[in-house]
Amino acid sequence: MVESIKNSAIQSFVRDAIFKAGVIHPLFFSSRQGRTINRSDKMRAVIQRVSSSKVTVDGETTGSIGRGIMILLGVHKDDTEETAEYVASKCADLRIFSDENGKMNLSVKEIEGEALVVSQFTLLGDCAKGRRPSFVQAACPEKGNHLYEVFVEKLKTAIQSVQTGVFGADMKVELVNDGPVTLVIER
């Protein structure tokens, strides 16, 4: 019991010293046991298999697709062009469409489907503390837009028809989720 109290006191002292030195932010530790919380420092893509989808900005349709995938893309502040290209390739190659036997065995490329990509920094929101999400992990608008464009260009090399929303705009997204099939890719 005494040993446990000593260890707990030492852990608290070390944790406080690390915070004060600015080495690690306090949110990286849980408040109860001093364990590291698994925070995602990754680009996030939410992929939905759709029968149709469209995005409008100020009442005007900026992108509309039939059968294919709708991708919500969140860019992390530490992401790179390599990350964007990898996630785009993964989205294009993901086997989420049914083959002749009814098994999810075909990619959007193989069915000659379409893709709609919508930027969504809120995918990087952290709701661990308080009631207001923190978006400090999201890329700044300039970097986010650049990597969003890299992602879209890489996707266009694999999929014939790629439509987009407008980066940073207030968008209205409609979709008919087929299945439903919804997956998350992080890198």
Active site residues: 120-122
> Which of 65, 66, 74, 16 has its CA nearest to residue 45?
74
Say if residues 53 and 175 touch (Cβ distance below 8 Å). Answer: yes
Say if residues 73 and 153 touch (Cβ distance below 8 Å). Answer: no
Both tokens assigned to 18: 């690390």
> Which of 92, 76, 95 has its CA nearest to residue 148?
76
Both tokens assigned to 90: 């993964």
Report d(CA 43, CA 166) in Å as an integer.
18
